[in-house]
Amino acid sequence: MGLLSKKDTKLITDPLSDNNPITIQVLGICSALAITADLKASIVMGIAVLFVLSAGNVVISLMRNIIPSKIRIIVQLIVVAALVIIVDQVLKAYAYELSKTLSVFVGLIITNCIIMGRFEAFALANGPWRSFLDGIGNALGYAVILIIVGFFRELLGSGSLLGFKVLGDPIEKTGVYAFGYENNGFMLLAPMALITLGIIIWVQRSRNTSLIEDN
């Protein structure tokens, strides 16, 4: 990679697997439970966080030497909130349809602990370019998990993907439903997101045993 040094590349690839914000750092669980009942919402949330986290990381990184440490959390919160509100307003004016789809995510983005977590852990100590890459990497890592959870919850809970009825029609009894298959409505509820997430963590740790903490 010409543009990215080896260290920079790691900033993006690490959060995708061995340092994933959700499964390893256990941040951002709340939104991972709330909005993964269907795949589309998961993807939209992933993109929204990608933008806010990378932009916010750059802003915080640029300000890192002048922020008084006593009020740094409040400053971080203001930066996220301002960014999200500005994006929301601009979308409302120039891409109204899109803003309607996104509006429900706005509150969730501001309170997403991944964003505060990365500001605190990375952007306050690193330069803007590296912070930007860290933002991209972590947001992608977050999005990947969201999409996996959303995929299984929508498939098993509603029998569809992105709204398309891939398993047939549950009411007309076509496709797999003709053989007596039933959707598992429990998948649509938050507890099953947690269990799905638990299975992902289990799979990840059994594939890479170095992730298991010693007791």
Partner 1 sequence: MARNTESNGYTVAFATAMVLIVGALLAFVASSLKEKIAENKRIEKQQNILYAMGVNNNDETSVEFVSKANVESDFSKYIVKQLVITGADFVEDSNAYLIDIKVEAEKAKNPSYKRRLPLFIGEKDNKEFYIVPVRGKGLWDAIWGYVALDNQLVIQGVYFDHAGETPGLGSNIKERFFMDDFAGEHIMDGDEFKGVDVAKGNADPKNLRKDDFAVDAIAGATITGNGLAAMLKKDLQLYLPYFKTLKQ
Give the residues lining the site for partner 1 (CB under 8 A). 34-38, 41, 44-45, 65-71, 74-75, 78, 82, 85-86, 89-90, 92-94, 96, 100, 103-105, 107, 154, 163, 171, 185, 188-189
Nearer to partner 1, 27 or 187 (CB): 187
Nearer to partner 1, 4 or 71 (CB): 71
User: Nearest approach, Cβ of 44 to partner 1 (angstroms)?
Assistant: 8
SS3 193: helix
Nearer to partner 1, 65 or 215 (CB): 65
8 A C-beta contact, residue 8 and residue 81: no
Nearer to partner 1, 11 or 32 (CB): 32
Q: What's the DSSP call for residue 14?
A: G
How far apart (Å, rounded) are the C-alpha atoms in residues 30 and 96?
27
Q: Which residues 6+ apart lie within 8 Å of 176 measured at CB? A: 159, 167, 168
Nearer to partner 1, 82 or 203 (CB): 82
User: Nearest approach, Cβ of 25 to partner 1 (angstroms)?
Assistant: 24
Written in H, E and C, the secondary structure of 103-125 is: HHHHHHHHCCHHHHHHHHHHHCC
8 A C-beta contact, residue 109 and residue 49: yes
User: Nearest approach, Cβ of 137 to partner 1 (angstroms)?
Assistant: 25
User: Which residues pair with residue 164 across a beta bridge?
Assistant: 161
User: Nearest approach, Cβ of 156 to partner 1 (angstroms)?
Assistant: 13
